[in-house]
Structure 1
């Protein structure tokens, strides 16, 4: 084996349904652009991320999506921001 390399040892994972399995809860937040064509600001996203982190939520994914607007049948470009945190026992 070349110097400086180590083989990774796989970590044992608990079986589904076992008492040692950590459980998570999830929260999805919709962020959308304004109906007047304004773009979703970086500041708005940053504020949402920091507010959720202060409550113990960790960012899981950000997905681009058509989010239903308040007026009419169409959607506007937006984001679905998914957070997770361990369930408190």
Structure 2
């Protein structure tokens, strides 16, 4: 007889990573992105340890991508604001 197929379930951490990544782009930019990154890495490690019972690596990668992209855009945005206002204050200081 054939052995019954093992049922694989999605990793809870992978789902949390994806949801937090989406929240990082909408409601909670900083917190959501950090949670997406942390839980995404934890989910991928968990899935690698138990590949016969867990799936959801794509969900974890999507959460990681959303989280890292939002963090990168936030850093670029902060640098832009600092450079813009720093230059503006420098111009004001030299003309006065």
Global fold match (TM > 0.5)? no
- Which is higher, the Rg of structure 1 or of structure 2? 2
**Larger relative helix fraction:** 2
**Larger relative strand fraction:** 1
